[in-house]
Chain A
């Protein structure tokens, strides 16, 4: 929300700098996100605060002043230039050559009285270049214009940085500015600053100039002034001209109407236009501007109807304004041209002939104020796009003459219903924005009176005596009993009762002190204070933020330390992360949103998927086509990330730990945490010593080595087995399932070449991608926490190799198991060091060579003991696996 300081000053005196004001408002919860300066310099920021430097044009106090044009003479050599004779407060008039078209009417008309007031810039002043579109500036220098020397200038709004207006010079009305003597620094005339305040949803009461002024008053100890609500109403009474029928008081608790007759529809006065522009709204005409002005000033949105249209719709009878819910199937075309199919809770303002507007949000096309002189209407602060503009423009040409009589509406609406309607109808307006945040019904009448009087002052119309005010559901008066001790209890330090009372009264709460309690009545401009203990907390916030959060001391928690609980799941997750990072893997964190199509690519076309079949958590409102469901797997995301990195990085060792989401029978899905690993590229990092020779690439056994190292580091307690399995995402012969105590933990292996290719990692069989997807919970379910550390051996070992020839079909794990079983206590270790096929080993057989370590804990082994065990091993392998000793 844009808050011009000059407007704010109507309602509160400001005795601190703009910069300090911005800081105090920010700390109190009205965050000032920017200050826009017009002509005046940026001030020194308060102690300890920095401000973004502003590069706006500062109007030099000596060189840019108020000028009074006393006469306009013809230029002897040019028709399109004139000579303005300007009183700038000096001894003589200054002759200014200008092409401003808005001075042509005065050419050679003799002295002008009262004079035309305009900004006047002396030689050497810095102004914006009126002819440049890039915001460049220039210094005024003396030069001749068509033979007449010139060294000064009367300025346009653009030249001063007030707006882009450069059609003519800025002329200020005499009745408003005539009291400034010529030569007054122009900073003092139109210099201003506009605060941009980010309004939080609960702060509707301050979403207007008076509301901000109230905050400023409370924060700085100044007194708040309120806008006058007196109306000069000299016309025939409104009574009998129009009647009201509120059918849904819950949704429309109050509705007020006033009538003004015989208005002249025209541009609103300069001061009102300027303020609207500073506040970010475009002036339209005096009637629409008055409604917007009061909305900005008091926070009460208003709506102006063409009264004659309403009468015509009522067949010449006094119109009946009805607020009601829509008929089944009812539509309304709003003034932005949108055709709305109405929901059953969209409250309408209607008459006997049909609907007129969606209550509190946007007017219908039919009953707006008719203004053939402008292209656009934007009553209720609706931004119109070009299509809507054409629509209205086309319509305007077919319209009746300009509106003469205006019926003004100020109503109260249920804020939740307004928000719901704006969402379901996908519409937005300044009025709807305010109503959806809660405008107190008491504001309706204030807004009505303020607005109708402004309309009278700016239109020459006559206000009908009285107003119509139906208030079937009065807002309850909210009272809160606040023990002063409650402030101490929540804040943790003492604010004196006097200060509490001062703060609350400054915010217009009515406060009665009863001992160490204060009985507080909430003022009727705000809806954000609750009752009971909620109300107490609400009041404590009001007290704390006005008192100043910067004044609150720091303490250490003195309360009882709660029972401390370990988070075993997280600790174990972190163990896995550390173990894998130590192994040389890099952690990634992927998007948890994907598409079913992306995950379906994990299975080659035409094959049944091996992944668990369950539903997806599907977004009802996805923001992009590639993120529509919550993922089932980590693998798909990892393949995507590996493919993206493969463009620049050959060797990748990645892992991810994160949830996957399986929609089962319940409303809420299961969210198991998974561990994914992906490895591809050369086993060794390239070294300069090795030149350009090709390096072996990582395969199944690199991945298995990482998994084995992980299992070792975690000290998984159960019996670990690796079983060959088939899985649709993996190479049929190069896939294993990790089992702990027979329970599946997950699958790993070489990613199926077709799958890898589908994700953009290519079909090259020499460049495998290996990956794993584990259920992390199952992996770390049972870890050996207390370790039984073996003593360091003191006896020498005996080393012997053994090479066993077995059938191809015999798994290495079985050979090892046979060796270890037969080796007994004396066999300390058996490490596979070679797998050999080929001559002289017969086809269909393979030779597995193991390095065996024999040791007795208490003595030096003798050769014959070792020979005995060795023979036992050979015999057992032969018996169990048909193995023979390789010659």
Chain B
């Protein structure tokens, strides 16, 4: 009995030496040390031995069991180390394969540009006021100092509707009149708003002209609003929108609803002023029409123009986005080709 146990011990140790995988190791453990393993069974059989042999056999069997358990632990640790080393060595992947694509959404470039514009003006105290797309002729023209049949109307190619006196707004300027009535408290309260919205012009579609486009109008009315404020405020906007180093210039112009009227140019975003096709080699890109609110318009908004003054400006977000991003065709915006949109 003891001989058999000793030979099992010797065999078990010999087998253990040859084991290199954890599967085989656990098989070995089951066969020798498991519930029905040879050593366990031998220990369990101790009781069947004659009494005088029991103590010695039991002692030896326990020694063997413990020795095998230690050997197992040692072997197990060795195999674990080995397998770890092997996996570190062999588990190499091609890190240049692409990652799993995560679908992302996004906002239209016109929205993104509008938001930047809103944010900059909001910091300067200008809040968003919106008004309708389908306007009456009075608010779009007459109240803005552009009487019926006046040649200044040639500046806007207008979509008329079949309802007499109703048009698609040609600019966001009618919002000036509506904002003055809504916020002006009968000509007693100052106003600082921007008026974004979709405008419409009767124009042949081309790479440079759209029948539908966003405009952002700005209006400041107060008892002490000056042209120098207009210049300072617009210059500040341009620096934040296009870069701190950008220079701005004012150029004389004409709008019936401002007096004096100016155009605002900013140094070209593409060439930085050196001249390129985008700025037609002038180094300047027009970003806004502006001016001091015409006294007649102030009056039509309920203000006394001898005591109140204001400035107004209008800018085109899509054109700004084109200038900043080098977009060559304005029609991209409403075509909504995903291959265009997904670049933003």
Quick one: CB contact mask for B43-83 with A, threshold 8 Å, 1 for yes? 00000000000000000000000000000000000000000
Across the interface, name the chain A residue whose C-beta is closest to B185: A563
Instruction: Give chain B interface residues in 108-157, CB to chain A under 8 Å.
Output: 108, 110-111, 115, 124-125, 127-130, 132-136, 147, 149-152, 154-155
Is the pair B101, A685 in contact by a Cβ cutoff of 8 Å?
yes
Is the pair B252, A28 in contact by a Cβ cutoff of 8 Å?
yes
A50 interface residue (CB < 8 Å to B): yes
Contacts of B135 in A (CB 8 A): 668
Instruction: Give chain A interface residues in 487-542, CB to chain B under 8 Å.
Output: 489-493, 533-534, 536-538, 540-541
Complex Cα–Cα for A627 and B159 (A): 11
The minimal Cβ–Cβ distance linking A380 to chain B, given in whole angstroms, is 18
Complex Cα–Cα for A372 and B38 (A): 134
Q: Interface extent on A, as a size class?
A: 35 or more
Is the pair B228, A493 in contact by a Cβ cutoff of 8 Å?
yes
Contact of B203 among A557, A562, A585, A623 (CB under 8 A): A623
Most chain B C-beta atoms within 10 Å of own C-beta, residue among A534, A550, A562: A562
Instruction: Give chain A interface residues in 559-580, CB to chain B under 8 Å.
Output: 559-567, 569-570, 574, 577, 580
Across the interface, name the chain B residue whose C-beta is closest to A589: B108
Complex Cα–Cα for A549 and B260 (A): 10
B208 interface residue (CB < 8 Å to A): no
| In the complex with contacts A567-B128, A668-B132, A50-B254 CB distance below 8 A | no
B341 interface residue (CB < 8 Å to A): yes
B15 interface residue (CB < 8 Å to A): no
Contact of B152 among A201, A644, A652 (CB under 8 A): A201
Contact of A50 among B228, B229, B252, B273 (CB under 8 A): B273
Contacts of A669 in B (CB 8 A): 134
A588 interface residue (CB < 8 Å to B): yes
A163 interface residue (CB < 8 Å to B): no
Is the pair A560, B222 in contact by a Cβ cutoff of 8 Å?
yes
Instruction: Give chain B interface residues in 191-213, CB to chain A under 8 Å.
Output: 191-192, 198, 200, 202-205, 211-212
Is the pair A567, B253 in contact by a Cβ cutoff of 8 Å?
no
Complex Cα–Cα for A648 and B340 (A): 12
Q: Which of B27-35, B230-238, B322-330 contacts A (4 or more CB under 8 A)?
A: B230-238
Contacts of B283 in A (CB 8 A): 48-50
Contacts of B224 in A (CB 8 A): 558-559
Complex Cα–Cα for A621 and B334 (A): 21
Is the pair B294, A203 in contact by a Cβ cutoff of 8 Å?
no
B220 interface residue (CB < 8 Å to A): yes
Is the pair B253, A200 in contact by a Cβ cutoff of 8 Å?
yes
Contact of A419 among B149, B159, B309, B333 (CB under 8 A): B149
| In the complex with contacts A436-B151, A587-B108, A687-B101, A560-B292 CB distance below 8 A | no
Contacts of A415 in B (CB 8 A): 151
Is the pair B222, A623 in contact by a Cβ cutoff of 8 Å?
no
Is the pair A581, B105 in contact by a Cβ cutoff of 8 Å?
yes
| In the complex with contacts A419-B151, A687-B101, A620-B211 CB distance below 8 A | no
Is the pair A492, B127 in contact by a Cβ cutoff of 8 Å?
no
Contact of A52 among B154, B163, B227, B281 (CB under 8 A): B281
Across the interface, name the chain B residue whose C-beta is closest to A580: B105
The minimal Cβ–Cβ distance linking A106 to chain B, given in whole angstroms, is 46
Instruction: Give chain A interface residues in 649-671, CB to chain B under 8 Å.
Output: 649, 651-654, 658-659, 661, 663, 667-669, 671
Contacts of A621 in B (CB 8 A): 159-160, 202
Contact of B104 among A492, A584, A591 (CB under 8 A): A584
Is the pair B337, A645 in contact by a Cβ cutoff of 8 Å?
yes
| In the complex with contacts A623-B202, A671-B133, A583-B105 CB distance below 8 A | yes
Is the pair A577, B252 in contact by a Cβ cutoff of 8 Å?
no
B250 interface residue (CB < 8 Å to A): yes
Most chain A C-beta atoms within 10 Å of own C-beta, residue among B101, B103, B261, B296: B103
Is the pair A549, B250 in contact by a Cβ cutoff of 8 Å?
yes
Quick one: CB contact mask for B274-313 with A, threshold 8 Å, 1 for yes? 1100011111000000001011100000000110010000
Is the pair A534, B294 in contact by a Cβ cutoff of 8 Å?
yes
Contacts of B273 in A (CB 8 A): 48, 50
Across the interface, name the chain B residue whose C-beta is closest to A661: B134
Contacts of B336 in A (CB 8 A): 588-590, 641, 644-645, 654
Is the pair B333, A589 in contact by a Cβ cutoff of 8 Å?
yes
Interface of A is mostly: loop
Contacts of B134 in A (CB 8 A): 617, 630, 661, 668-669, 671
The interface size of chain B toward A, counting residues with CB under 8 Å, comes to: 103
A545 interface residue (CB < 8 Å to B): yes
Contacts of A553 in B (CB 8 A): 228, 231-232
Is the pair B136, A667 in contact by a Cβ cutoff of 8 Å?
yes
Across the interface, name the chain A residue whose C-beta is closest to B268: A50
Is the pair A555, B151 in contact by a Cβ cutoff of 8 Å?
no
| In the complex with contacts A589-B111, A687-B101, A555-B232 CB distance below 8 A | yes
Contacts of A29 in B (CB 8 A): 251-254, 261
A592 interface residue (CB < 8 Å to B): yes
Is the pair B100, A689 in contact by a Cβ cutoff of 8 Å?
yes
Across the interface, name the chain B residue whose C-beta is closest to A438: B151
Is the pair B149, A668 in contact by a Cβ cutoff of 8 Å?
no
Contacts of A176 in B (CB 8 A): none
Is the pair A51, B154 in contact by a Cβ cutoff of 8 Å?
no
| In the complex with contacts A419-B151, A490-B226, A544-B260, A617-B161 CB distance below 8 A | yes
A66 interface residue (CB < 8 Å to B): no
Contacts of B205 in A (CB 8 A): 624
Is the pair A50, B275 in contact by a Cβ cutoff of 8 Å?
yes
Complex Cα–Cα for A588 and B332 (A): 11
Is the pair B106, A558 in contact by a Cβ cutoff of 8 Å?
no
Instruction: Give chain A interface residues in 443-489, CB to chain B under 8 Å.
Output: 489
Contact of B98 among A53, A436, A653, A688 (CB under 8 A): A688
The minimal Cβ–Cβ distance linking A562 to chain B, given in whole angstroms, is 4
The minimal Cβ–Cβ distance linking B298 to chain A, given in whole angstroms, is 9
Instruction: Give chain B interface residues in 243-274, CB to chain A under 8 Å.
Output: 247, 249-254, 256, 259-262, 273-274
Contacts of B282 in A (CB 8 A): 49-52
| In the complex with contacts A51-B281, A562-B125, A490-B309 CB distance below 8 A | yes
Instruction: Give chain B interface residues in 140-186, CB to chain A under 8 Å.
Output: 147, 149-152, 154-155, 159-163, 165-166, 168, 183
Contact of B103 among A48, A417, A570, A584 (CB under 8 A): A584
Contacts of A585 in B (CB 8 A): 105
Contacts of B129 in A (CB 8 A): 567
Is the pair B338, A667 in contact by a Cβ cutoff of 8 Å?
no
Is the pair B259, A582 in contact by a Cβ cutoff of 8 Å?
no
Contacts of B19 in A (CB 8 A): none
A420 interface residue (CB < 8 Å to B): yes
Is the pair B294, A570 in contact by a Cβ cutoff of 8 Å?
no
| In the complex with contacts A50-B273, A687-B100, A688-B97, A550-B250 CB distance below 8 A | yes
Complex Cα–Cα for A580 and B111 (A): 14
Is the pair B151, A586 in contact by a Cβ cutoff of 8 Å?
no
The minimal Cβ–Cβ distance linking A658 to chain B, given in whole angstroms, is 8
Is the pair B342, A586 in contact by a Cβ cutoff of 8 Å?
yes
The minimal Cβ–Cβ distance linking A228 to chain B, given in whole angstroms, is 31
A556 interface residue (CB < 8 Å to B): yes
Is the pair A587, B97 in contact by a Cβ cutoff of 8 Å?
no
The minimal Cβ–Cβ distance linking B272 to chain A, given in whole angstroms, is 11
A374 interface residue (CB < 8 Å to B): no
B189 interface residue (CB < 8 Å to A): yes
26 contacts between A and B (CB under 8 A): A50-B281, A51-B281, A52-B281, A201-B151, A202-B152, A534-B259, A534-B296, A537-B259, A540-B292, A550-B250, A555-B229, A555-B231, A557-B124, A557-B225, A558-B229, A561-B192, A562-B222, A565-B127, A586-B105, A592-B133, A592-B198, A617-B161, A630-B133, A648-B338, A649-B339, A685-B103
Give the top 7 A-B pairs by smallest Cβ distance, nearest first.
Answer: A492-B226, A29-B252, A52-B281, A492-B228, A541-B260, A559-B222, A554-B232
Binding site for A on B (CB under 8 A): 97-98, 100-108, 110-111, 115, 124-125, 127-130, 132-136, 147, 149-152, 154-155, 159-163, 165-166, 168, 183, 189-192, 198, 200, 202-205, 211-212, 220, 222-229, 231-233, 235-236, 247, 249-254, 256, 259-262, 273-275, 279-283, 292, 294-296, 305-306, 309, 333-339, 341-342
